[in-house]
Amino acid sequence: MRVRAFLWTLAIAGATFAAIALTSLSWVPVVGAAIAAAVVSVNKVAARIDRPVCWHCGHDISRTHAGAYGKICPECGSLNQHKPPQGTA
């Protein structure tokens, strides 16, 4: 998921550089549009992470009790950090 978001950001950055080089537009609005596109792309990927499922196997862990460091998947034992620990600072 994170790799995909990173690749999207790279692709957008490359397209931005090409647009600046090929059209010699003023770079400010182009970079602004690229940043907006990057934010939208990352948000789309991040929206899937918000679902309470195991990141490793996809098992539903919405009813799993969260420990100090996240939720332990009962299916595969992976640690999932859907919410940062609160009140432990």
Min dist CB 56 to Zn ion, Å, is: 4
Dump the DSSP string for 11-68. HHHHHHHHHHHHH---HHHHHHHHHHHHHHHHHHHHHHHTSSB-TTT--B-TTSPEET
Tokens of residue 43, six digits:
């948000």
What is the total count of residues that contact Zn ion (CB under 5 A)? 8
- The reply on whether position 71 binds Zn ion by CB under 5 A is no
- What would the x/- binding string for Zn ion be over residues 15 to 54, using CB under 5 A? ---------------------------------------x
In the complex with Zn ion, which residue's Cβ is closer, 43 or 81?
81
- The reply on whether position 78 binds Zn ion by CB under 5 A is yes
